Amino acid sequence: MEQETLVQAAWKAAKARASAQLPEKPVRVRWQVGPAAVFTLGLVIAAIAVVTAFGRAPATTPMPVAKPAPQVVVHVVGQVNKPGLQKLRRGARVADAIESAGGAKADAKLDALNLAQPLSDGTQIVVPAQTPKSAGQSAAESAQSNCINLNSAPPEKLQELSGIGPALATRIEKFRQKTPFSKVSDLQQVPGIGPSIVGKVEGEACV
Angstrom distance (rounded) from CA 103 to CA 83 = 9
What DSSP element (H or E) covers 85? Answer: strand 84-89
Look at residue 167 in the predicted model and tell me its pLDDT.
92
Give the strands of the sheet with 71-78, arranged side by side: 84-89, 71-78, 124-127
**What count of other Cβ atoms lies within 10 Å of the Cβ of residue 120?**
9
Q: Say if residues 88 and 96 touch (Cβ distance below 8 Å).
A: yes
The answer to whether the beta carbons of residues 190 and 172 sit under 8 Å apart is yes
Q: What is the pLDDT of residue 13?
A: 65
pLDDT of residue 118: 95
Strands (E), 12-89: 71-78, 84-89
The pLDDT value recorded for residue 170 is: 92
The pTM of the full predicted model, rounded to 2 decimals, is: 0.37
Model pLDDT, residue 14: 60
Q: Is 119 helix (H, G, I), strand (E, B) or coil?
A: coil
What is the pLDDT tens value at each position of the chain, 207 positions in all?
Answer: 444 465 566 656 666 665 555 455 555 545 555 566 666 666 667 767 666 665 555 566 677 666 666 899 999 999 999 999 999 999 999 999 999 999 999 999 998 899 999 999 999 999 999 887 655 555 555 555 678 999 989 999 999 998 999 999 999 999 998 889 989 999 999 999 988 898 888 888 998
- CA-based radius of gyration for the chain: 59
CB-hemisphere CA count at 13 Å for 41?
6
Helix (H) and strand (E) counts for the chain? 7, 5
- Strand ranges, E, within 90-190: 124-127, 148-149
Number of neighbouring beta carbons within 10 Å of residue 197: 18
Task: Please tell me the predicted confidence (pLDDT) of residue 87.
Answer: 95
Calpha distance 168→187 (Å, rounded): 10
